[in-house]
Amino acid sequence: MGLASELLIVMPRTPRIYRGIALAAVFLTALATGACSSAAHSSRVAYVTISSGINAYRLDTVSGSVTSIFSSPFVVGSSPFGIALDPSNQFAFVANQGENTISLLKIDVASGSLKEVLPRTSAGQSPGPMLMDSGGHFLFVANQGSNDISVFSIASSGALSPVTQPNGSLTVPVGSTPSDLSMPNSGNLLFVSVPTFSSVYAFTVSSGALTAAPGSPVAVADGLTSVTASPTGNYVYIPNPATNTISGYSVHPAAPALLQMLPGSPFVNLCGTAAAATCPTPVGAAFSPGGNHLYVANYGSTDLSQYTINTSTGALTAITTTAPTAGTNPSFIMFDPGGIFAYVANVGSKSITQLKLNSDGSLSSNGNSIQVGDVPRALAFTQ
Amino acid sequence: MKETLTTRRFRGLVFAISKQAATLVFALGVLVPFSSAQSFLKAPTTEIFAGYSYLRYDATQFGFANQLNLNGANVEVWVHVYHELGITADFSGHFSSEMDAFNFLVGPQYTREWNGLRFYGRGFLGKARARLGSTGNSQIEPSTLGGAGGFGGGLDIPHGDNFFFRPVQADYLITGAFGAKTHDIRISTGIVYRFGKKPKNGPGL
């Protein structure tokens, strides 16, 4: 016999106050049951730097659905560029390229809001791309005006302290404008792309101190705009926009030259179902979280390139399923920490395209995209 | 060009008609209690409810990780109109560290006695104000005034001639906030006081 039926039988014999309370209890229980059954999925926040501030979006970790965080954009210093989040979701760091500083912001995970903690930390000239090691202990900053790299240690409060480098300075020179930074999960190597010199600088990293790796800098014959190290640190790939190729290197920490070109490199940049279709102007690359696949953003095409990596030789084999499509002029790709979705920043369409990672390593559209409204400069996710 | 002008005039006419209709509805809502035969002799029966209120606010619509739990107060004024029908004006304010929410609602209410208890259901329309308290370094004014609507009901337990204990009142509210629609649940409890006697042919125990 149901509770309601029992209640009806009992009710006439009980005082009104108890009847009322019993009915109220039944109602509230039903309401609570309904509320529990509609519990929300877990989510994370994506922060996108644009010229005027930081846009924020909440991402459902299962469906990928995107909700704009109403209170964004958050305003920091002048012309924010690089952004990095610590792995405990407490702090965000933003390079203010227009005023040579780094902002520390506290993250409110519940609301997604950012609140700046002043004062700002001085950086080199025109700080741009930033990178944090996986442990959240050090922040690496590419100074595009002073052509060098700064490293900061991160205190538990989020405060930054510059790390004195082996050369006695607070920065390490890289000759010309550094355009990108990349580091394997181990955090013991740092790669810096320098397009003006068409070269990659490689450093070994120890407690934030950068030491030039043997053979560094490495000349890249076909030009470059970015560099991408595999999560394991075994390989480095460099898209060559001028020749529509991808240069591949194996990493040998103990050898006289840290980076050694892979056999068959540079690889022709392919995309789409026709294996011979060359994709124009590759500029940015990203590894799948497992490190078995490589994805390339082609500035001259909305189609992305996707490859399976031979983990023994580093050779790239194009995945010939339908090419995943991004917006206009895609510039870089990032995976979220869950490794389920890839995000492609589109300069031309001022948007970010979300793609789903399939079990065969291919990416496919799930219909979600983020209209940023300005050129997305950098992207970072909470864990 | 002529067509555009005509369209504009037509739109203006529609707006004017809508405005007149809204005024008429408002006037009916306010005047009906006073226009009944009995209201010429005495004021309609009025009840006031006041009590604690909880609001489950759907802040995920504008980027929060979860729905928010807000606590506050709910005050209502109910005026008898005809038989079991009345009009309720409802005001509530709810607060948390993340945000505050206020609702200003009015609507018809149907009340029925059953088994020594008084049950009621109602619908609402009105306005809602939401104010965010945790926006960090935002460019945007963290306060919004939007439309609101909803429905709900509850039950009253009489205590003496003029008092009722309201153990539960639940409302489902849809509010416009920051360009989004939130779907919220409000639970209230408190005391009802009736001014005057039970209306003739009306609910009230």
Q: Write the pLDDT tens digit of every residue in B79-104.
A: 999 888 999 999 999 999 889 999 99
Q: Grade residue A204 by pLDDT with cuts at 50, 70 and 90.
A: very high
Q: Which of A58, A106, A113 sits opposite B135 (nearest CB)?
A: A113
Q: Which residue of B has its CA nearest to A109?
A: B65
Q: Note the pLDDT of residue A247.
A: 96
CB-nearest partner of B63 from A28, A53, A69: A69
CB contacts, 8 Å: B153 with chain A = none
Residues of chain A neighbouring B117 (CB-CB closer than 8 A)? 16, 19-20, 23
Nearest Cα to A179, choosing from A201, A160, A162?
A201
Pairing state of beta strands A259-261 and A267-268?
A: unpaired
Partner residue opposite B137 with nearest CB, options A35, A75, A109: A75
CB atoms within 10 A of CB A139: 27
- Residue A29 · residue A37 · CB < 8 Å: no
Q: What is the mean pLDDT of chain A?
A: 90
Q: Which of B156, B157, B178 sits opposite A70 (nearest CB)?
A: B178
Question: Which residues of chain B make contact with A70, given a CB cutoff of 8 A?
Answer: 62-63, 132, 140, 178-180
At which residue do the structure tokens 């869950």 appear?
A: A338
Q: Which pLDDT tens digit goes with each residue over B139-148?
A: 666 788 999 9
> Residue A17: its pLDDT value, please?
66
**Residue B60 and residue A72: Cβ atoms within 8 Å?**
no
B198 touches chain A (CB under 8 A): no
pLDDT of B1 higher than 70 = no
**Residue A131, pLDDT score:** 96
Span of A34-38, A121-125, A352-356 with lowest mean pLDDT: A34-38
In this prediction, residue A235 carries a pLDDT of 97
Task: Give residue B134's pLDDT band: very low, low, confident or very high (50, 70, 90).
Answer: low
In chain A, the residue whose alpha carbon lies closest to the alpha carbon of B132 is A71
- Give the CA radius of gyration of chain A: 25
Q: Judged by CB atoms within 8 Å, which residues 83-112 of A form the interface with B?
A: 105-106, 108-112
C-alpha span between A137 and A153 (Å, rounded): 6
| pLDDT for res B205 | 62
State the residue for tokens 């053979």.
A215
Residue A3 has pLDDT above 60, yes or no: no
Q: What pLDDT was estimated at residue A15?
A: 66
Q: What are the tens digits of pLDDT across the range A222-262?
A: 899 999 999 999 999 999 999 999 999 999 988 889 999 99
Q: Does position B192 have pLDDT exceeding 50, yes or no?
A: yes
pLDDT of amino acid A23 = 67
Which residues 207-236 in chain A show a CB within 8 A of chain B? none
Task: Nearest chain A residue to B56 by CA: give it.
Answer: A35
Cβ of B168 within 8 Å of Cβ of A28? The answer is yes
| CA–CA min distance A58, chain B (Å) | 6
Nearest CA of chain A to the CA of B134: how many Å? 7
When CB atoms are compared, the residue of A17, A20, A67 closest to B60 is A67
B98 and A110: CB-CB below 8 Å? yes
Q: Quick one: pLDDT band at residue B204, thresholds 50, 70, 90?
A: low
Q: What is the mean pLDDT of residues A110-131?
A: 94
Q: Which residue of A has its CA nearest to B189?
A: A24
Portion of chain A with pLDDT greater than 90, in percent: 81
- Residue-wise pLDDT for A131-189, tens only, equals 999 999 999 999 999 999 999 999 999 999 999 999 999 999 999 999 999 999 999 99
Where residue B109 falls among pLDDT bands split at 50, 70, 90? very high
Residue A70 near chain B (CB below 8 Å): yes
Nearest-Å Rg of the Cα atoms of chain B is 20
Question: Which of A13-17, A74-78, A199-203 is predicted most confidently?
Answer: A199-203
**Residues 50 to 109 of B: which have CB under 8 A from any A CB?**
56, 59-67, 98
Q: How far is B200 from chain A (nearest CA, A)?
A: 23
- pLDDT, mean of residues B118-129: 96
Which residues of B fall within a CB distance of 8 Å from A116?
Answer: 136-137
Measure in Å the smallest separation between the Cα of B185 and chain A Cα atoms: 9
Mind listing the pLDDT tens digit for each residue in A4-13?
Answer: 444 444 454 5
**B28 has a pLDDT exceeding 60:** no
pLDDT at B166: 96
Structure tokens at A214: 């043997």
A23 touches chain B (CB under 8 A): yes
Residues 255-294 of chain A with CB under 8 A from chain B are: none
Least confident among A67-71, A83-87, B108-112, B171-175: A67-71
Question: Considering only A51-65, B35-49, B164-178, which range has the smallest mean pLDDT?
Answer: B35-49
Q: What percent of chain B has pLDDT over 70?
A: 74
pLDDT of residue B52: 97
Q: How confident is the model over A312-340, as a mean pLDDT?
A: 92
pLDDT at A274: 64
> How much is the mean pLDDT over chain B?
81
Q: Do A40 and B60 touch (CB under 8 A)?
A: yes
Q: Does B4 touch chain A (CB under 8 A)?
A: no
- Please list, in sequence order, all residues whose beta carbon lies within 8 angstroms of the beta carbon of residue A319, skipping any fewer than 6 positions away: A293, A306, A307, A308, A360, A361, A362
Mutate to test the interface with A, among B57, B64, B191 (most CBs of A within 10 A): B64
Say yes or no: ipTM exceeds 0.90: no
Q: Inter-chain contact A19–B135, Cβ cutoff 8 Å? A: no
pLDDT (tens digit, 9 = 90+) per residue, A329-339? 999 999 999 99
Q: What is the DSSP letter of A209?
A: E
Averaged over A348-375, what is the pLDDT?
Answer: 94
pLDDT digits (tens, 9 = 90+) for B139-183: 666 788 999 999 999 999 999 888 999 999 999 999 998 888 999
Q: Does pLDDT of A316 surpass 60? A: yes
